[in-house]
Structure 1
Amino acid sequence: MDIKTFEDLIIWARELHTNLSQCLSECSTKNQDERASALLTYLAAHEAELARITDEFDKQADPKALNTRVYDYLDNEHKRIKAHQSCDGHYANLDFDGIAREVFAFHDQLIDLYDSLAGKAEIPEAKDLVESMRTMEENESMRLASQVGRMNDL
Structure 2
Amino acid sequence: MDIRTFRELIEWTRDLHANLARCMSHCATKNEEERARALLDYLATHESEMERIVNEFERQGDAKALETRVIDYLSHNPIKTHRTCDEPYAKLDFAGISREVFDFHDQIIDLYKTLVGKAEIPEAKELLESLLTMEQNESMRLARQVGRMDDL
TM-score by length of 2: 0.97
Deviation sequence 1:24-67 (CA, Å, 0-9, x none):
00000000000000000000000000000000000111000000
Q: What is residue 132 of structure 1 aligned with on the other side? A: 130
> In 2, are the aligned partners of 1:14 and 1:51 still within 8 Å (CA)?
yes
Q: How does 1:74-93 map to 2 (within 5 A)?
A: 74=74, 76-77=76-77, 79=78, 81-93=79-91
Where in structure 2 are there 5+ consecutive unaligned residues? none
2:104 is equivalent to residue 145 of structure 1: no
Q: How does 1:7-22 map to 2 (within 5 A)?
A: 7-22=7-22
Where in structure 1 are there 5+ consecutive unaligned residues? none
3-state DSSP of counterpart to 2:120:
coil
Task: Work out the percentage of aligned pairs sharing the same amino acid.
Answer: 66
RMSD between aligned residues: 1.1
Tell me which amino acid in the other structure corresponds to 1:116: T
Deviation sequence 1:81-108 (CA, Å, 0-9, x none):
1243210111000000000000000000
Q: What is residue 61 of structure 2 aligned with on the other side? A: 61
Q: How does 1:22-101 map to 2 (within 5 A)?
A: 22-72=22-72, 74=74, 76-77=76-77, 79=78, 81-101=79-99
> In 1, are the aligned partners of 2:28 and 2:38 still within 8 Å (CA)?
yes
> In 1, are the aligned partners of 2:27 and 2:90 still within 8 Å (CA)?
yes
Aligned length: 152
